[in-house]
C-alpha cells in the first residue's frame, strides 16, 4: 500500500524504511499505519474507474446477446431431450425438405442428438416451421430487451433490468 503526505508532498510505500523528523525527534525505521496517519500520511487508493451509463448499457447489451445465444433460449425438446438447430442448419433443412418434396419423396431423415428420425415431409415442414417461428420470436424478444436497455436513464435501472423474461415457451416434440 502507498501513503501520501499532502503537507510534505511525500510518498511512502508500506514496508520501507522511513526517516522523518517528528516534533524534533528523529524516527528511522518502518513505521506502523497508526504512526503514518499521526504524521499526516493518508492511505492512497488508486482511483477506480466509475463506468458511465453508456458503458453499463453496453455491458448489459452484451449480457443480453450472450443470453440469446445460450441454451436458456436456443433449445427445443424432442422426446424430452434438449436439441437445437442453428440458423444454418434450419436453412439447410428447409432446402432439403423442398428438394425431397420436388423429387416426390414422402419422408425425410432428420438427425437429432445422434438419433435419425424418419418423418413424413409435411410433419417435418411443420416441425421446422415451428422451430423457425420460435427462433424469430426469440430474436424479437432479444431486440426488445436491447431497445429497452438503450432507453433507460440511469445505471441503477440498467443494473436492475431483467432480460430473461418475455421469451416464448420452449417447444416440445414427440417423434
Give me the long-range contacts of 143-152 (CB less than 8 A, separation at least 24). 145/64, 146/61, 146/64, 146/65, 149/57, 149/60, 149/61, 149/64, 150/57, 150/61, 152/57
Residue 129 shares a structural domain with residue 61:
yes
Residue 154 shares a structural domain with residue 136:
yes
Residue 137 shares a structural domain with residue 64:
yes
CB atoms inside a 10 Å sphere around CB 13: 10
pTM metric for this prediction: 0.74
Residue-wise pLDDT for 49-69, tens only, equals 899 999 999 999 999 999 999
User: For residue 19, what are the β-bridge partners?
Assistant: 28
Domain count for the chain, please give it. Answer: 2
Residue 122 shares a structural domain with residue 141:
yes
Average pLDDT, the chain: 95
Residue 31 shares a structural domain with residue 66:
no
Confidence at 23, pLDDT banded by 50, 70, 90? confident
Residue 142 shares a structural domain with residue 77:
yes
Residue 69 shares a structural domain with residue 13:
no
Residue 57 shares a structural domain with residue 39:
no
What sign for the dihedral angle of Cα 134, 135, 141, 145?
Answer: positive
Give the mean model confidence (pLDDT) for residues 129-147: 98
Residue 65 shares a structural domain with residue 6:
no
Residue 39 shares a structural domain with residue 62:
no
Residue 114 shares a structural domain with residue 71:
yes
pLDDT value of residue 161: 98
Q: Residue 115's domain spans which residues?
A: 53-173
The one-character DSSP state at 83 is E
Residue 124 shares a structural domain with residue 40:
no
**How far is the C-alpha of 134 from the C-alpha of 90, rounded, in Å?**
12
Amino acid at each position: 500500500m502507498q501513503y501520501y503526505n499532502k503537507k510534505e508532498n511525500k510518498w511512502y510505500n508500506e514496508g520501507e524504511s522511513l526517516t522523518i523528523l517528528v516534533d524534533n525527534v528523529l524516527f528511522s525505521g518502518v513505521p506502523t499505519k497508526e504512526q503514518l496517519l499521526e504524521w499526516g500520511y493518508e492511505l492512497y487508493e488508486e482511483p477506480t474507474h466509475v463506468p458511465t451509463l453508456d458503458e453499463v448499457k453496453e455491458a448489459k447489451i452484451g449480457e443480453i446477446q450472450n443470453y440469446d445465444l445460450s441454451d436458456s433460449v436456443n433449445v427445443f425438446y424432442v422426446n424430452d431431450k434438449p436439441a437445437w438447430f442453428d440458423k444454418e442448419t434450419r436453412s439447410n433443412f428447409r432446402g432439403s425438405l423442398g428438394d425431397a418434396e420436388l423429387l416426390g419423396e414422402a419422408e425425410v431423415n432428420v438427425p437429432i442428438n445422434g438419433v435419425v428420425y424418419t418423418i413424413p415431409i409435411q410433419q417435418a415442414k411443420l416441425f421446422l416451421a415451428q422451430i423457425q417461428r420460435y427462433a424469430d420470436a426469440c430474436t424479437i424478444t432479444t431486440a426488445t430487451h436491447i431497445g429497452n436497455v438503450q432507453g433507460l436513464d440511469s445505471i441503477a435501472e440498467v443494473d436492475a433490468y431483467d432480460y430473461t423474461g418475455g421469451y416464448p415457451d420452449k417447444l416440445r416434440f414427440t417423434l
